[in-house]
């Protein structure tokens, strides 16, 4: 069993690389490992086998894990004794040039050592079902394998068995983050338990075992440290909990699909140091700030705390977190260079404490103030910041006054396309992106390929489109224009709420697809219910949104209806604009 449940194949290391690794844990090559998630059907749903690790004084001590461990060099020797799978096939499944079969054999061997379950055939296609004497004889092999005295190839030859490698379905791929003293490259497999075998933990690596439903295991883990799960174990349980039977899980796992590499990154925050996985908002930013894995980057947005995102980029978040603003409005400072002059993007709400935090975070004098748009959480602090700095203000006035910051007075009205040179090699280009607001602008930091998106793109949510200033057709058009004209030049999105976002093209495409799927639901609702009021349509169109958010969702629904009306696909029978009863166009 390995010492860290996260884990590229092991490679030979030169003396120089060994010395470098001793000095820098991040330079140590990860060790190839394999883990086997064993499942069985239960009266309700299915259960998974979990083993409790022995106390060893490391951070995995006492954790509940799946059977698994290091791939031994001799595991490949069992390749000719594997049933239904050769090395070429196994390597292709795992995305390797060769040696893939070693992972399958290691998963079977480690499972046998630690739990007593042996995935092997004693006749073609017949899983091993040992009688009492045979079971006792096989039990002796567990200790020999654990001590490295014998190999899986020895076991199979001596006992007349073949490794049931074809019973294992490749599930996931985990890599220990840089900075950890021990790093592992682990392939996770899933298999249904041999029906005629009984679990018996080895008492060495594993000191207890339980069959539990994934939901029960996750619930127990939520109760505190008494039931400890490491990150890959917890994420695996979350992923398989959605299946109702073992057969459905295995059918999904065996279907053609891409298995991504999952590498957590260590961050700090309210829960102390912990691994941050790619599905968490902070993951990409942590990799940018802390590529060597020293563990100093935060997985929390901390209002008022300056975050240095690059030598030319700083973020300060306002204390205005809410259901509408997420963790708070981000204010960005861009600049540096020989003159060390800085621009502020989106000063935020009219909060003097936030303005002081922004000024304190500025590494040099503030010479420019830029607003993405004039909603009340983004631009009211412009006046306060200008009074403190005398900086020139850039932005656009809105077309409609509702929900807008009436105090906003730009010194320079932007149409989009303007380029502002802050210093040598530091330029911002304005891009008009109407939709969320008529006057919405994004700013491209060209040298760092970073787009400041204001509310055009938000992290973990979609923005409200609130007519009349908000326009759904304009919003989707702006997103498509960015995809067409700018996506290849982008590397990062810096949203008005949340962390830096990687993969800009993917993020922009997702928003367009999400809006069009919602539009399709509007058309379905019009077909099913129309003529109907907005309130009647809302229940069906936003059936996946909590009722507490329906007031906000109503605004975007109206924007969808107005877009469909203007396109001749919907009509309303009275009232002004979005009011009245709506139906499909004749």
**pLDDT average, residue stretch 157-186:** 94
Question: Which pLDDT belongs to residue 479?
Answer: 98
Domain-embedded: residue 530:
yes
Question: Which pLDDT belongs to residue 2?
Answer: 38
Q: Do residue 337 and residue 467 come from a single domain? A: yes
User: What whole-number distance in Å separates Cα of residue 387 and Cα of residue 407?
Assistant: 13
Domain-embedded: residue 114:
yes
Which of the 8 DSSP states describes residue 73?
G
Both tokens of 400, joined, read 């409609």
Distance of CA 61 to the CA centre of its chain: 27
- Give the pLDDT confidence of 292-310 residue by residue, as tens digits: 999 999 999 999 999 999 9
Question: Which pLDDT belongs to residue 13?
Answer: 35
Contacts of 395 (CB under 8 A, 6+ apart): 370, 371, 372, 373, 374, 379, 382, 408, 410, 413, 414, 439, 441
Domain-embedded: residue 30:
yes
Domain-embedded: residue 110:
yes
Q: Do residue 556 and residue 495 come from a single domain? A: no
Both tokens of 446, joined, read 């060209």
User: What whole-number distance in Å separates Cα of residue 78 and Cα of residue 155?
Assistant: 9
The pLDDT-based confidence of 118 (bands split at 50, 70, 90) is very high
**pLDDT average, residue stretch 60-85:** 94
Q: Do residue 146 and residue 54 come from a single domain? A: yes
The pLDDT-based confidence of 569 (bands split at 50, 70, 90) is very high
State the CATH number of the domain containing residue 397. Answer: 3.60.15.10
User: What whole-number distance in Å separates Cα of residue 453 and Cα of residue 487?
Assistant: 13
Domain-embedded: residue 8:
no
Q: Residue 201: pLDDT above 70? A: yes
**pLDDT average, residue stretch 74-78:** 96
Question: Which pLDDT belongs to residue 19?
Answer: 38
Average pLDDT in the chain: 92
Q: Residue 536: pLDDT above 50? A: yes
Q: Do residue 362 and residue 490 come from a single domain? A: yes
Q: Do residue 104 and residue 122 come from a single domain? A: yes
Q: Residue 211: pLDDT above 60? A: yes
Contacts of 349 (CB under 8 A, 6+ apart): 318, 320, 329, 376, 377, 378, 380, 381
- Give the pLDDT confidence of 339-394 residue by residue, as tens digits: 999 999 999 999 999 999 999 999 999 999 999 999 999 999 999 999 999 999 99
Question: Which pLDDT belongs to residue 21?
Answer: 38
Q: How many residues does the chain have?
A: 586
The pLDDT-based confidence of 144 (bands split at 50, 70, 90) is very high
Contacts of 574 (CB under 8 A, 6+ apart): 580, 581
Domain end call among 477, 502, 527 = 502
Domain-embedded: residue 280:
no
Which residue's entry shows tokens 């120089």? 16
User: What whole-number distance in Å separates Cα of residue 192 and Cα of residue 195?
Assistant: 8
Domain-embedded: residue 272:
no
The pLDDT-based confidence of 8 (bands split at 50, 70, 90) is very low
Closest of 196, 194, 176 to residue 184, by C-alpha:
176
* Three-class secondary structure of residue 214 per DSSP: helix
Q: Do residue 300 and residue 412 come from a single domain? A: yes
- Give the pLDDT confidence of 309-321 residue by residue, as tens digits: 999 999 999 999 9
User: What whole-number distance in Å separates Cα of residue 3 and Cα of residue 205?
Assistant: 10
The pLDDT-based confidence of 20 (bands split at 50, 70, 90) is very low
Which of the 8 DSSP states describes residue 177?
P
The 3-class secondary structure across 56-111, one letter per residue, is CCCCCCCCEECCEEECCHHHHHHHHHECCCCHHHHHHHHCCCCCHHHHHHHHHHHH
Closest of 297, 336, 359, 575 to residue 447, by C-alpha:
336
**Residue 447 backbone zone (phi > 0: left; psi -120 to 50: alpha; other: beta):** alpha
Judging by DSSP bridges, how do beta strands 46-53 and 31-41 pair with one another? Answer: antiparallel
Both tokens of 486, joined, read 């700018």
Q: Do residue 319 and residue 228 come from a single domain? A: no
Could you tell me what percent of the chain has a pLDDT over 70? 94
**pLDDT average, residue stretch 471-494:** 96
State the CATH number of the domain containing residue 571. Answer: 1.10.10.10
Distance of CA 250 to the CA centre of its chain: 24
- Give the pLDDT confidence of 21-54 residue by residue, as tens digits: 334 555 568 999 999 999 999 998 999 999 999 9
Question: Which pLDDT belongs to residue 578?
Answer: 65
User: What whole-number distance in Å separates Cα of residue 109 and Cα of residue 114?
Assistant: 9
What's the number of domains the chain is made of?
A: 3
Contact 524, 537 (CB under 8 A): no
Domain-embedded: residue 7:
no
Rounded to 5 degrees, what angle do the CA atoms 131, 134, 138 make?
Answer: 130
Both tokens of 82, joined, read 């594997």
Domain end call among 502, 520, 537 = 502
Q: Print the domain residue range for 64.
A: 15-264
Q: Do residue 368 and residue 517 come from a single domain? A: no
The pLDDT-based confidence of 12 (bands split at 50, 70, 90) is very low
Domain end call among 479, 502, 525 = 502
Q: Do residue 72 and residue 217 come from a single domain? A: yes
Q: Pick the range with the lowest mean pLDDT from 6-15, 101-110, 221-230.
A: 6-15
Both tokens of 533, joined, read 């009021």
Q: Do residue 392 and residue 336 come from a single domain? A: yes
Q: Residue 10: pLDDT above 80? A: no
Question: Which pLDDT belongs to residue 137?
Answer: 80
Closest of 236, 234, 145, 127 to residue 187, by C-alpha:
236
Q: Residue 7: pLDDT above 90? A: no
Question: Which pLDDT belongs to residue 60?
Answer: 75
Closest of 266, 233, 240 to residue 62, by C-alpha:
233
Both tokens of 81, joined, read 């004794």
User: What whole-number distance in Å separates Cα of residue 152 and Cα of residue 133?
Assistant: 20
Q: Do residue 445 and residue 557 come from a single domain? A: no
Q: Do residue 23 and residue 134 come from a single domain? A: yes
**Residue 179 backbone zone (phi > 0: left; psi -120 to 50: alpha; other: beta):** left
| 91 to 38, 86, 187, 200: CA distances (angstroms) | 22, 9, 12, 31
Listed in order, strand segments (DSSP E) in 88-204 are 120-123, 126-127, 162-163, 169-175, 184-192
């Amino acid at each position: 069993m390995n010492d860290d449940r996260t884990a590229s194949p092991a490679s030979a290391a030169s003396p120089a690389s060994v010395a470098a690794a001793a000095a820098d844990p991040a330079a140590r090559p990860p060790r190839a490992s394999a883990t086997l998630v064993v499942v069985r059907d239960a009266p309700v749903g299915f259960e998974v086998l979990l083993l409790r690790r022995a106390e060893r004084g490391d951070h995995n001590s006492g954790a509940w894990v799946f059977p698994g461990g290091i791939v031994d060099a001799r595991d490949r020797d069992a390749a000719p004794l594997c049933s239904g799978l050769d090395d070429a096939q196994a390597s292709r499944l795992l995305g390797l040039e060769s040696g893939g079969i070693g992972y399958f054999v290691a998963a079977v061997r480690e499972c046998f050592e630690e739990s007593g379950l042996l995935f092997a055939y004693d006749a073609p296609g017949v899983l091993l079902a040992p009688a009492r004497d045979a079971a006792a004889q096989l039990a002796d092999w567990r200790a020999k394998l654990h001590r490295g005295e014998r190999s899986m190839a020895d076991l199979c030859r001596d006992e007349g068995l073949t490794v049931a490698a074809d019973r294992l379905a490749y599930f996931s791929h985990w890599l220990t983050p840089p900075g950890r003293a021990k790093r592992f490259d682990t392939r996770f497999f899933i298999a249904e338990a041999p029906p005629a075998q009984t679990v018996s933990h080895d008492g060495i690596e594993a000191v207890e075992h339980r069959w539990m439903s994934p939901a029960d295991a996750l619930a127990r883990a939520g109760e505190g440290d008494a039931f400890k799960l490491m990150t890959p174990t917890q994420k695996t349980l979350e992923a398989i909990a959605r299946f109702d039977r073992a057969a459905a899980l295995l059918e999904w796992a065996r279907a053609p699909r891409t298995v991504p590499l999952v590498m957590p990154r260590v961050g700090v925050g309210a829960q102390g140091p912990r691994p941050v996985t790619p599905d968490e908002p902070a993951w990409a930013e942590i990799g940018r700030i802390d590529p060597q894995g020293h563990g100093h980057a935060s997985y929390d947005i901390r209002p008022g705390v300056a975050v240095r995102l690059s030598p030319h980029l700083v973020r300060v978040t306002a204390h205005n977190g809410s259901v509408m603003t997420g963790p708070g409005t981000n204010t960005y400072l861009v600049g540096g260079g020989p003159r060390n002059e800085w621009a502020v993007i989106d000063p935020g709400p009219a909060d003097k404490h936030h303005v002081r935090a922004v000024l304190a975070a500025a590494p040099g004098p503030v010479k420019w103030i830029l607003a993405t748009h004039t909603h009340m959480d983004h631009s009211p602090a412009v006046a306060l910041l200008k009074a403190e700095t005398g900086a020139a203000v850039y932005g656009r006035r809105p077309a409609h006054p509702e929900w807008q910051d009436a105090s906003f007075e730009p010194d320079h009205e932007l149409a989009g396309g303007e380029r502002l040179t802050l210093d040598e090699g530091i330029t911002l280009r304005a891009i008009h992106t109407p939709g969320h607001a008529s006057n919405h602008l994004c700013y491209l930091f060209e040298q760092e390929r970073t787009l400041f998106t204001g509310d055009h793109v938000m992290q973990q949510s979609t923005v409200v489109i609130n007519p009349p200033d908000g326009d759904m057709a304009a919003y989707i058009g702006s997103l498509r224009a960015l995809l067409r004209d700018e996506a290849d030049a982008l590397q990062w999105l810096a949203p008005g709420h949340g962390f830096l976002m990687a993969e800009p093209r993917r993020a922009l495409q997702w928003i367009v697809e999400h809006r069009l799927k919602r539009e399709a639901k509007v058309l379905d609702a019009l077909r099913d219910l129309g003529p109907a009021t907005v309130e009647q349509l809302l229940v069906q169109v936003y059936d996946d949104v909590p009722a507490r958010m329906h007031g906000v969702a109503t605004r975007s629904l109206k924007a969808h209806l107005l877009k469909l009306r203007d396109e001749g696909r919907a009509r309303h029978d009275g009232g002004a604009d979005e009011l009245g009863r709506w139906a499909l166009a004749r």
